[in-house]
Chain A
Amino acid sequence: MTKYIRRAAALCALLLLALLVNATRVQVFQSRVYDDNPANRRPEIARWGRPRGDIMVEGRPVTGSKDTGEQLRYERTYRDGPLYAPVTGFASQVYGTTFLEHARDSVLDGSDPLLSFLPLWNDIARDQNAGGEVVTTLQEAAQRAAYLGLGARRGAVAALEPATGRVLALVSRPSYDPGVLSGNGREVAEAWARLNGDASRPMLNRAVRQTYPPGSTFKVVTAAAALDAGVITDVDAPTRSPAPYTLPGTTTSLSNEVEGCENASLRYAFEWSCNTVFAKLGVDVGLGAMTDTARAFGFNDPGLRIPFSVAPSSFDTEMDRAQLALSSIGQYDTRATPLQMALVTAAVANGGSVRSPYLVERTTTASGRTVATSGAHTLRQAMTPATARHLRDLMRGVVEYGTGANAALRHATVGGKTGTAQHGIGNSGTPFAWFIGWAQSDDALEPGVAVAVVVEDAEAERGEISGGGDAAPIAREVMRAVLRNTD
């Protein structure tokens, strides 16, 4: 019997050995297959198991984390959610992340390897870093001024520091509170459905993800092209342009909303926004030079990130001369985001060079050690410094004598350009009111702020709507806030 007991024992040993071998297979050799299975909730539980790092505006967090005690433990909270929504985006346990929450997710959730002191240390120690912090370039006063300025109207504001490209304000209205999307309960699903079903599209980031016809504000680009190309050498000389202007190759004639545009000088045409002069200028400059200048300002660039992606602004590269004429006054197929138009005015304010815009000053660990910084760097030279000087002069005239008088500030030099963009089939829609501008404090060496404002549905009669009336006051308050803040 002894022999058989030994054999039975050997069988049991074999069974236990099989268990060990199989456990090794599951836990070591095939663990990656199971870990990576999308149905495995562990990564998500780990992700929400620690509080996210915060997004900072001027040293104060605009986000927070709430311990819910649930399986997905920490929920995102927002201070002034609607105010900062176009910057922070949301961090939802169900619907993912957007904007900065998305673009700097690995820092905020602590998974970025840069957060550890030693590379691979966390893999060894099975440790997780606390979420890092994202310090933005925003100025709270400017953000607030833009938000309050837009009020209940649909529209957007983008403000930059011309010399660096730092984004000082990024506002879109109507807005929403990203906090309502944070958790994973039924009310989150309801909020999601409500926000997506809202005809006013509150989750649309109009400052960077919506393009509008830029209207007359695009005349800055056309003027820059004309000056750079030498089509205009003297801003005060008559331009030999008819009014009304018959679009080349067609019988359509283009007219102006103001008097005195026939053979007007560039200065007059700029200050009073003569369509005829700029349409003809664009045609005179030619498609090649116009597209080159537009591209140098940042049009047709699908790769712009601040660090989240910005919808590309477009200037058509294949047009006949009539289309080019319309494009040169910001109509036809020309489309721009408010951020793009802020870049245009910032380039003028900054001697012609376009600084790459950025929203994240630096990222740090939870304890404040800097992980990465964003530096200012030049994207392109949009025009010669001389042309930039001329344009600054012209833009100042718009505010001092022309359509942009509403943007004027005391103790500061302000340059600007108004725009009223027709849109819709047969231009039936309520026009968009634009204002782009820059401001330089009297005691400063260079302009401190460049801003672009678009108001979609100003509650004004169609005939009254204009960039100068609706958009310029908002721009003024934003510029005032920035200049005051800088003092």
Chain B
Amino acid sequence: MTTKAGTTLAADPSDPSPPAVRLLRRRGVEFTLTVVAVLLSVYGYCAVGLAKNGTVPPGATDYGAGLGVLALLAHLVVRLRAPYADPLPLPIAVLLNGLGLVLINRLDLETPADQAAPAQLNWSTLGVALFITVVALLRDHRVLQRYAYVSVVAALALLALPILFPPVNGARIWVRISGFSIQPGEFAKVLLALFFASYLAANRNALAYAGRQIWRFKRLQLPTGRVLGPIVTIWLLSVGVLVLERDLGTSLLFFGLFVIMLYVATGRTGWIAVGLLLACVGAVAVGWLEPHVHSRVEDWLHPFASIEAGQGPNQLVQSLFAFAAGGPLGTGLGLGHSILIGFAVKSDFILATAGEELGLAGLAAIFLLYALLVERGYRTGLALRDPFGRLLATGLASIVALQVFVIAGGVTGLIPLTGMAMPFLAQGGSSVVTNWIIVALLIRLSDSARRQDDRGTLPQGPYDSAEGRGA
């Protein structure tokens, strides 16, 4: 299986000819799917207008043209600078971003005083611009390895920045400068993944095989403090800062990211056990000491408590009402009442609008889009041969998966609710921009993964492992 890991992706598995010779670029597929994604978004935009006012909304052509131009530019830069890239991530990102704009625009109709869609479109434009910049300027992902320590310093600085600013709705994660607000923690995700990937790739042997054996018959070995120390410190710092800022979702994300990447790098199941143990201790401690967290857990355990106490339904219950109202097929775009959720309906709770108006069918489709994006990320990780690239692809894919799980699980009552933006769907500039950068990196990585089979294009680097070709 491992012998074929690099080649299965490179070409259609049913294609009998050697992949190195018949490497397909698949840019036509990407183009077609991107056009479909734009058309689906425009269709959604029109459906909202038809449902609410009985007419095709006047902004439909502008919206379609705007999204279309962005998607086309993104596609062109991929075609020119990453011709071997995986054809799926870009159309998925376009569709999710387009759907997010449709949903936010739809909710804007209920809140005439608070229009979020134009800003979201601007942020999406910035996101696509950064996507283009990354794909165009970053020729080899291994260059990033050099900036590991720069990125970790930047990540910590970004994480610490909001402490200087006043909290918003109980969380200290925003930086507001003259009406402009960003969440620096969002950008820190990518930087931290970059650092983890770089550090673990460089030290994985030391982490996996050196150090004290603490359980003789099992293979649980603690690495030496010199190797483990820096990374645990970084991780503890970032999670600690987030707890201070009460950004539960992001601390959960960083924790999961750290454990997954450490596991993938070292293959030590023991790390998972230690990680979970630490997580439980941390969660109980935080849940006990921090009233903000405590109330979230209480809400999760007893969602109807506020109704029984006569205080009316809380946000989580309103969200569950919205999902339930959607049923299997949904009420139809524009015909739900998720606005009842209140202030976070366009951001953290955007999925409830999708759940109510598109139903379980639409929700499943959205989940599958994310699943597909994550799966393409992991495939890229499998296909790449350098440990840094593999770890980076795995980390980025895990970021997407964990984000989706943390917020979707929260708003559907699967796990306690923690604030987090649904990638591409939710209102939130920092999140949209970050996720476009993640997709840009995945595009670059997948281009490298397939290019390495196209002999000579990508020279074997010093970090290349033998595993890709089967050891």
CA distance A9 to B364 in the complex (A): 19
CA distance A3 to B320 in the complex (A): 38
Within the complex, the shortest CB–CB distance from B393 to chain A, in Å, comes to 9
| Cβ contacts under 8 Å, A41 to chain B | 337, 340
For A22, the closest partner residue in chain B by CB is: B414
B324, A39: Cβ atoms closer than 8 Å: no
| Cβ contacts under 8 Å, B405 to chain A | 12, 15-16, 18-19
B328's partner among A22, A28, A39, A45 (CB-CB below 8 A) is: A28
A5/B394 contact (C-beta < 8 A), A16-B371, A27-B360 known: yes
| Cβ contacts under 8 Å, A18 to chain B | 405, 409, 414
CB within 8 Å of A: which B368-402 residues: 370-371, 374-375, 378, 381-382, 387, 390, 394, 397-398, 401-402
B320's partner among A6, A16, A34 (CB-CB below 8 A) is: A34
Per-residue CB contact flags for chain A residues 393-433 toward chain B (1 = under 8 Å, else 0) read 00000000000000000000000000000000000000000
A28's partner among B267, B320, B327 (CB-CB below 8 A) is: B327
CA distance A23 to B329 in the complex (A): 13
A12/B328 contact (C-beta < 8 A), A2-B5, A23-B323, A37-B304 known: no
CA distance A38 to B5 in the complex (A): 55
B264, A27: Cβ atoms closer than 8 Å: no
CA distance A15 to B337 in the complex (A): 28
A5, B321: Cβ atoms closer than 8 Å: no
B340, A8: Cβ atoms closer than 8 Å: no
For B311, the closest partner residue in chain A by CB is: A39
A39/B307 contact (C-beta < 8 A), A5-B264, A28-B327, A34-B324 known: yes
Per-residue CB contact flags for chain A residues 9-43 toward chain B (1 = under 8 Å, else 0) read 10111011011101110111011111101111110
For B265, the closest partner residue in chain A by CB is: A1
For A6, the closest partner residue in chain B by CB is: B382
For A38, the closest partner residue in chain B by CB is: B307
For A19, the closest partner residue in chain B by CB is: B408
A1, B313: Cβ atoms closer than 8 Å: no
CA distance A93 to B398 in the complex (A): 49
For B351, the closest partner residue in chain A by CB is: A23
Identify which of A2, A3, A27, A35 gathers the most chain B CB atoms within 10 Å of its CB: A27
CA distance A2 to B340 in the complex (A): 46
| Cβ contacts under 8 Å, A2 to chain B | 1-2, 5, 382, 467
Count of A interface residues, CB-CB < 8 Å = 38
Where chain B touches its partner, the secondary structure class is helix
Within the complex, the shortest CB–CB distance from B364 to chain A, in Å, comes to 6
| Cβ contacts under 8 Å, A117 to chain B | none
Within the complex, the shortest CB–CB distance from A128 to chain B, in Å, comes to 11
Decide yes or no whether B359 CB sits under 8 A from chain A: yes
B412's partner among A3, A5, A6, A19 (CB-CB below 8 A) is: A19
Decide yes or no whether B102 CB sits under 8 A from chain A: no
Decide yes or no whether B166 CB sits under 8 A from chain A: no
CA distance A19 to B412 in the complex (A): 8
Within the complex, the shortest CB–CB distance from A92 to chain B, in Å, comes to 20
Decide yes or no whether B334 CB sits under 8 A from chain A: no
Decide yes or no whether B331 CB sits under 8 A from chain A: yes
CA distance A24 to B370 in the complex (A): 17
B412, A23: Cβ atoms closer than 8 Å: yes
Decide yes or no whether A186 CB sits under 8 A from chain B: no
A1, B401: Cβ atoms closer than 8 Å: no
A35, B324: Cβ atoms closer than 8 Å: yes
| Cβ contacts under 8 Å, B304 to chain A | 37
Interface residues of A (CB under 8 A from B): 1-9, 11-13, 15-16, 18-20, 22-24, 26-28, 30-35, 37-42, 45, 71, 126
24 sample A-B contacts, Cβ–Cβ < 8 Å, listed by A number: A4-B265, A5-B381, A6-B378, A8-B378, A8-B394, A16-B405, A19-B367, A23-B323, A23-B355, A23-B360, A26-B355, A27-B324, A27-B355, A27-B360, A28-B328, A31-B324, A31-B327, A32-B324, A34-B324, A34-B325, A39-B317, A40-B321, A126-B331, A126-B332
Starting from the known contacts A12-B374, A19-B404, 19 additional A-B residue pairs (CB-CB under 8 Å) come to A1-B264, A2-B382, A5-B382, A6-B378, A8-B263, A12-B397, A16-B401, A19-B367, A19-B408, A22-B413, A22-B414, A23-B363, A23-B412, A24-B360, A27-B326, A27-B355, A28-B327, A37-B317, A45-B337
